[in-house]
Structure 1
Amino acid sequence: MKKFLFFLFLLFVIYLIGINTVPQYIETQRNPVKIAPPYSVSSEAKALYDRLDFIADLHCDALLWGRNLNKRGDRGHVDFPRMREAHVALEMFTIVSKSPAGQNMQSNSEDAFDNITPLTIAKGESPWNWFSLMNRTLSQSNALADFVENEGEKAIFIKSKTDLEKLISIRKTDKQVIGAMLGIEGGHALEASLENLDKVFEAGVRMIGPTHFFDNEFGGSAHGENSEGLTDFGKSAVRKMNELGIFIDLAHSSPAIIDDVLEISTKPVIVSHTGVRAVLDSQRNLSDTQIQKIAANGGIIGIAFFDMAVGEPELPNIIASIQHVRDLVGIEFVALGSDYDGSVAVPFDITGLPLIVEGLMEAGFSEDEIRAVMGENVKNFFLKNLN
């Protein structure tokens, strides 16, 4: 009996060690920064950056890794202290609930082994989350709510236009106050239930991408196997998202889904993190025709920061992607969509955003255009379309 109890105790100790080391190791491997901070820019770029009233980013997966976002981290790309250091007013935190083994840009099976299951266990999450995508989703939603609450009056969970207006007003006198919004990457998280849309809306979700890296109940992924458009369930979900006030995120969707959503949706769409095919010809990136249709819909396009979306070297290609959207449809339709903490290597973490301002200045963008790209477009989009 003593040997058995000792064995159980040993297993428990190993489990505790795993909780404290395995997720950190995995994140360090999956979310590297190519150039470590601090970052330096010209005095002119720094002065312009410091004049920006509202900086926003449309995509960050930091909730996945189990880090305490209230504390400044030494790994990953985003947390609340680094948001403040970078003067970022608003971040869209997105929930990843499933990721296929061997994930790639070309073709992934929905039946592939799920990478998130062992990570969920290793983080010490409740067994209720181990095999339920919906429970994982609600758990990450609750985590963001807790992080915001821990900030007291220095953070706002943005769920409505009123919340956003409050953030804008408070930041006129206190730039330490930050805003956090919540999205979902991949409609598989809903487990084919329209009723779950009500649950995630109640939890604060205001953006959902129909698909991520594999086909699901909504339809085809840009990286899946069937390239199909919206299923009947997907069409019903899009209509209900419109009714509730949940934005549809077309990043990772098949071209057929993009067309179907733009035909069905009565509300403007978001492409939270993408590249453009004119800069990098990839199946995960937008064609000129798609960009024009999204602009005609009144949507907004977030340009990602990693090589598989923009190519290498990243920074000049980020600038080129922004410039292409501006020249094609207008400056008001383009924004930042980093994909920070999204299992990608990035050239700089969130404190390196002044490098983008410097790049835009060197490319001849005016100060008003830079303000638009860095956050004014996002602010105006949500002021106009958030319920």
Structure 2
Amino acid sequence: MKKLFIVLGAIAAIYFAATLIIPPYIESRRNPVKSPPPYSVSTEAQAIYNRLDFIADLHCDALLWGRDLTKKGSRGQVDFPRMREANVGLEMFTIVSKSPAGQNMKSNTADAFDNITPLTIAKGESPANWFSLINRTLSQSRQLAEFINEEEGKAILIKSKSDLSRLLESRRKDKSVIGGMLGIEGAHALEGEIKNLDLVYEAGVRMIGLTHFFDNELGGSAHGQSQAGLTEFGKEVVRKMNELGIFVDLAHCSPSIIDDVLEMTTKPVMVSHTGVRAVLDSQRNLSDTQIQRIATNGGIIGIAFFDEAVGVPELPNIIASIKHVRDLVGIEHVALGSDYDGSVAVPFDITGFPLLVEGMLDAGFSEPEIAAVMGENVKRFFLENLN
């Protein structure tokens, strides 16, 4: 019996050590910053940046990695201190619950080995999360709420229009107050159960991407095998999302799902992180027709920062993508959707946001247009459409 306890103790010690070593190593490999901070821009660009009233980003996967977001990290791309350093008022923290091995832009199977399972185990999460997508999702939701509670009023979880108004009022007095919203990347997290939509809503989720890198119970992914539209369950989920006040995110959706959602939704949609085919012709990106239909719906489009969405070099292509949406449907429909900490290499971390202002300034954008892209559009969209 004594030998058994020794063996079990050794196993526990090894497992504990693994939780301290493996997740940081994986994150460092998966989320590199090509040009580390500090960043510098022209005096004019910095002055414009300093005058921005509200800066927002529509997509970040930082919750996946197990970092304490209340501390400034030496890895990754976003945390609360870096948000404050960049004067970012609002970040959409999206929850990743499953990612297929061999993930690629063209074709993935739903039954491929799930990369998130070993990461979940390595992080030392509860065994209840190891093989349950909905439990992983609710756990990450609680994690953000706990981080925000630790901030003692310096951070606000945005679940309603009144929460956003409170954030805006607080920031008029104290720019160090930040806001976080919760989204889900891929409605496979619901595990095919409509009742789970109520659970994630109660947990604070206010945006759900219907698919991620593979087909699921709602329909086809842009990177899946079927390219199908909404299933009956998918239509049921969209209707209930409209009723509850959860935004439909069309990022990663098949063209057929995009068409089906725009035919049936009663609320404006979002595309939290994407590129445009006019800049990079990829099945992951939006066509001009899709952009026009989303604009007609009153939707908002977040431009991503990584090469598989915008091409290389990233910064001028990010600006070109923003410009294309502006010229096609109007400045009011475009925003930032970085995909920070989403297993992507990015040209700069969140403290490099002034580089975007300089890029738009050099491309001939006016100061009001720059302000719209950097956060005013997101502010207006949520004030108009949050319950």
Q: Distance in 2 between matches of 1:112 and 1:212?
A: 13
Residue 268 of structure 1 pairs with residue 268 of structure 2: yes
* 3-state secondary structure, aligned to 2:69: coil
- CA drift at 1:5: 2.3
**Shift in Å at residue 81 of structure 1?**
0.4
TM-score, with length taken from structure 1:
1.00
**Partner Cα distance (1:241, 1:17) in 2:** 41
| Shift in Å, 1:37 | 0.5
- Mapped partners of 1:20, 1:282: distance in 2: 38
Amino acid across the alignment from 1:249: D
**Cα distance in 1 for residues equivalent to 2:123 and 2:300:** 34
Aligned to 1:207: 207
> What letter is aligned with 2:255?
P
Paired residues for 1:55-66 under 5 Å? 55-66=55-66
Whole-angstrom distance in 2 between the partners of 1:5 and 1:157:
44
**Deviations 1:39-67 (CA, angstroms, capped at 9, x unpaired):** 11111111110100000000000000000
Q: Deviations over 1:136-192 (max 9, x none)?
A: 000000000000000011000000000001111111110000000000000000011
SS at match of 1:252: coil
What aligned pairs does 1:162-311 form with structure 2 within 5 A after superposition?
162-311=162-311
Q: What pairs up with 1:1-387 in 2 under 5 angstroms?
A: 1-387=1-387
Moved more, 334-343 or 165-174: 165-174
Offset of 1:4 from its aligned partner? 2.6
In structure 2, distance between residues paired with 1:230 and 1:173: 45
Give the CA deviation at 1:12. Answer: 1.1
Deviation per CA, 1:202-221: give whole Å up to 9, x if none: 00000001100000000000
Cα distance in structure 2, aligned partners of 1:150 and 1:259? 42
Secondary structure of 2:253's counterpart equals coil
Aligned AA (1:122): A
Structural RMSD (CA) = 0.5
Distance between the aligned counterparts of 2:15 and 2:196, measured in 1? 32
Distance 1:250 1:338 in 2: 15
Separation in structure 2 between the aligned mates of residue 194 and residue 4 of structure 1, nearest angstrom: 45
Measure, in 1, the Cα distance between the counterparts of 2:5 and 2:290: 62
Moved over 3 A (4+): none
The alignment partner of 1:59 has SS state of strand
Which one-letter code corresponds to 1:12 in the other structure? Answer: A
1:9 deviation in Å? 1.5
SS, match of residue 156 in structure 1? strand
Partners of 2:44 and 2:13 in 1: CA distance = 54
Identity of aligned residues (%): 76
Q: Which amino acid aligns with 1:116?
A: I
Q: Hey, what's the Cα distance between the residues in 2 that align with 1:360 and 1:173?
A: 29
**SS where residue 153 of structure 2 aligns?**
helix
Q: Report the residue type matching 2:348 in the other structure.
A: F
The whole-number CA distance in structure 2 between the counterparts of 1:236 and 1:100 is 26
Structure 1 unmatched runs, 5+? none
Hey, what's the Cα distance between the residues in 2 that align with 1:138 and 1:73?
A: 24
Separation in structure 2 between the aligned mates of residue 292 and residue 118 of structure 1, nearest angstrom: 41
Q: Aligned with 2:94: secondary structure? A: strand
Give the Cα separation in 1 of the matches to 2:12 and 2:124: 12
For 2:25 and 2:194, locate their aligned partners in 1 and report how far apart those are by CA, in whole Å: 36
SS at match of 1:70: coil
Amino acid at match of 2:350: I
Name the aligned partner's letter for residue 8 of structure 1: L
* CA deviation after TM superposition for structure 1 residue 367, in Å: 0.1
State the secondary structure of the residue aligned to 1:152. coil
Unaligned runs of at least 5 residues, structure 2: none
The number of residues matched between the two structures is: 387
